[in-house]
Amino acid sequence: MSTQNLSRYNDVPDATGMKIGIVVAEWNSEVTSVMKEGAIQTLKEHGVKDGDIILRHVPGSFELTAGAQMMAGYTSVDAIISIGCVIRGETPHFDYICQGVTAGLTQVSINFEIPVIFGVLTTNNLQQALDRAGGKHGNKGVEAAVTAIKMVALKRDFQQNG
């Protein structure tokens, strides 16, 4: 499994004026809440105003698609960060949820022409998830926020310069 840690980052564009939606799954909330806090703090550090962060929760990672679709449809966010944690159990549910949310979020991104960032941990056990939510492999919520900022900046670059 990749252990790349992008939580120490540089060259992040100025995010002043960006409006960012965050959709967080409540399943495994000890993991997703840490990722959410990391994402919010990172957005603010780079210039996103409190009032320009729109936060909503959904029950589980499978609902991230519907949550992101609603966020895109009912708000004017520049990007959506989806945050979830799916832990492999004994059932095939893991694969169904992971496949469903991956395809679903991609579809929302295409439908609405906005970046939808995949901040969904898919791990074999809880420890691997905790390692990536403020543990030894950083905080994937922080990385998701940086990715969102970079993608909004990329879109603005295309809009202004072609």
CA distance 124 to 90: 10
Question: Which residues in 72-101 contact ligand RBF (CB under 6 A)?
Answer: 84-87, 89, 91, 93, 97
Query: In terms of C-beta density within 10 A (0-12 exposed, 13-18 middle, 19 or more buried), how is residue 4 classed?
Result: exposed
Instruction: Tell me how many residues contact ligand RBF (CB under 6 A).
Output: 16
Nearer to ligand RBF, 28 or 139 (CB): 28
57 is catalytic: no
Phi then psi for residue 120, to 5 deg, are -115, 115
CA distance 162 to 160: 6
User: Among residues 14, 17, 59, 95, which is the contact residue for ligand RBF, using CB under 6 A?
Assistant: 59
Residue 122 near ligand RBF by CB under 6 A? no
User: Among residues 15, 40, 63, 78, which is the contact residue for ligand RBF, using CB under 6 A?
Assistant: 63
Residue 119 near ligand RBF by CB under 6 A? no
Catalytic residue annotation: 93
